[in-house]
Each structure stands twice: as C-alpha cells, then as structure tokens.
Amino acid sequence: MSTSRRGAFIVIEGLDRSGKSTQADVMLDRLNASGISAKLMKFPDRTTAIGQMINAYLQSKADLDDHVIHLLFAANRWELASTITQTLESGTHVLCDRYSFSGIAFSASKSALKHKEAIPTPSSSDIPYTNPNLSYIWCRDPERGLPAPDLTLFLDISPEAASARGGYGEERYEKAEMQARVREVFGQIGNEMLSHNQNEDRSEPTKDGAQPRWVVIDAGNDKTTVSKDMWAHVEPLIAGVDSPIGRLWY
C-alpha cells in the first residue's frame, strides 16, 4: 500500500451465533496469506480492567445498573480507540468483531424488553425523552466520536436459525426473545447508516462512493458462501483508504 494510504477499518456485526468470529478468522487468514497487514480486534475486549467488569456482568457474577454496563461497554471502546487509530494510520487494516452497533442494539433492546414498549426510535419523540431509560439516542451518544468503520458487514440470521446452530450459551443476553429484539434494533441502525450514506453533503470517509458503509450479509448461507459474499465488499479496500478516519455520528 502506498505510504499516503491508511488501513481500512472493517467491522463485523451480527447476532450471537451468526458466525462473526469464524468469519473474522477466515478473513484475517486470507489477508495475511496474501501478505496484507491486518489486526483482529474484538469488543468487548475482556482483557482490560473495564473488560473484566463487563465479563463478570455477562457471566452473572456481578450485577450492574443497565446504564452503568452500557457506559462500560462504550468506555471499553474508548480505551482502545487510540490503538485503532494508530493501527490504521500505520497502514494496517483493522478487523473488528462487534463494535458500537452491538453496544446500541443490546442496550436499547434490553430497555424495550424491560418496559414492554416499542423499540425506542431516534425520532423527535425521543427529545424530550419519552423513554428515559436507555433510549436509542441515549445509547448512541457515548459512541459519538469513536473511529468510524469504513465498512460494516452485518451478518444477518434469524434467531431461529441461530439457535438451531447448537443453542445459545449461558451468558446474559443469549436468549431467543432478546436476540429477536436485538435484530430489530440492528435493522434500525442499518437504516440509519444507509440513509446517512445517501447524504450527498458528506465528504468522508469514502471518496469513491462505490463502497456502502453498512452491508447486510445473509449469514444463513454456508460458511464458504458467507466468506465469499463478505470478501466482495472487503476487496476494494485492501489497497488502503485515502480519506481520513471518520468519526461515528458526526
């Protein structure tokens, strides 16, 4: 890659059991096998002090207020934001297994579950808050300003197909009803990202315009098909990116 180009920031999102981690490994191997420098990251990163608090919460060894755990997930990204930026600027691609979109989707859908209300939407009814607990906007705000992915691959799978892959595990959130809610909020985030893409006034982060920033991949297909579908969107980025690193929701 030429020295003026930075690495691409590629995020893989999706429900539990959609194949994110498997596909991230496949992609990393493929890039490395071609001599392309890429680093794999994952959120939550459970190795930091904040990550250990998140881990205890997910394993039900600790109880935390819903707002607190939401902010810890966001803080876990902020503590690694400079690593992401520096890695990209050094010309290395960053592949990331989950990011801010999981942060919003899981917290906002938890609120919807708890209150048995419709999924909170980023509409005017949100300001002033009609749903003060973990509204979509409240959940999104701590993520504002984080490095923006150049591409997000959303691995879409129905909760039924996901649970047929061997059932959910023991961690918090690994329940069919929650997953169905999470998928709805992910759909809403996708719509918001896509409408943002179509705003012609935006100058960053991709200049060529050909690369949509949020792509839905049918993760119900076999592993090889999913890898191939994902690669078609990643390939245009492997030569590096010219434009500066964007920031989320600015």
Residues near ligand FDM, by CB under 6 A: 16, 43-44, 58, 73, 98, 102-103, 106, 173
Query: φ and ψ at 42, to 5 degrees?
Result: -145, 135
The residues that bridge with 247 in the sheet, in sequence order, are 147
Q: How far is the CB of 16 from ligand FDM (least distance, A)?
A: 6
Q: How far is the CB of 48 from ligand FDM (least distance, A)?
A: 13
Q: Judged by CB, which is closer to ligand FDM: 173, or 231?
A: 173
Q: Judged by CB, which is closer to ligand FDM: 103, or 246?
A: 103
What is the C-alpha to C-alpha distance for residues 169 and 178, in angstroms, rounded to an integer?
13
Beta strands 214-218 and 151-156, pairing class: parallel
Q: How far is the CB of 198 from ligand FDM (least distance, A)?
A: 26
Q: Judged by CB, which is closer to ligand FDM: 13, or 150?
A: 13
Vertex 101, ends 98 and 105: CA angle to 5°? 110
In what helix (H) or strand (E) does residue 184 lie, and over which residues does it extend? helix 176-197
Q: Judged by CB, which is closer to ligand FDM: 103, or 190?
A: 103
Q: Judged by CB, which is closer to ligand FDM: 6, or 181?
A: 181
Q: How far is the CB of 65 from ligand FDM (least distance, A)?
A: 14
DSSP summary character for residue 164? H
Q: How far is the CB of 179 from ligand FDM (least distance, A)?
A: 9
Which sign, positive or negative, has the C-alpha torsion 108, 109, 113, 116?
positive
Q: Judged by CB, which is closer to ligand FDM: 185, or 241?
A: 185
Q: How far is the CB of 171 from ligand FDM (least distance, A)?
A: 6
139, with CB counted inside 10 A (0-12, 13-18, 19+), is buried
What is the C-alpha to C-alpha distance for residues 153 and 77, in angstroms, rounded to an integer?
18
